[in-house]
Amino acid sequence: MHHQNNIIIPEKIEKAWDVFHALYYIRYCMQNKKQRMLCFGGRGIKFLELLEKRLLDFWKRNKDIFGV
């Protein structure tokens, strides 16, 4: 469990947030070429689409871990 501002955040929610944050960032980089160049070494949209698909597949396979 993580404590932030006296609020206890369950670990499952923290893990779920990490996945959602990664998905958000991948989708942001798909729209923003400059950011994509900075963060993914100029790799193309196809690379990000594959990364997104793998992350979503991971999420679906492990829903019980996240408690969602």
- What gap in Å lies between CA 61 and CA 4, rounded to an integer? 29
pLDDT tens digits, one per residue of 15-58: 778 888 888 888 888 888 888 888 877 778 888 899 899 988 88
Question: Which letter does DSSP use for residue 8 in this model?
Answer: E
First to last CA, the chain: 17
Q: Is 16 in contact with 66 (CB distance < 8 Å)?
A: yes
- For the whole prediction, is pTM greater than 0.75? no
DSSP labels, 14-47: HHHHHHHHHHHHHHHHHH-HHHHHHHHTT--HHH
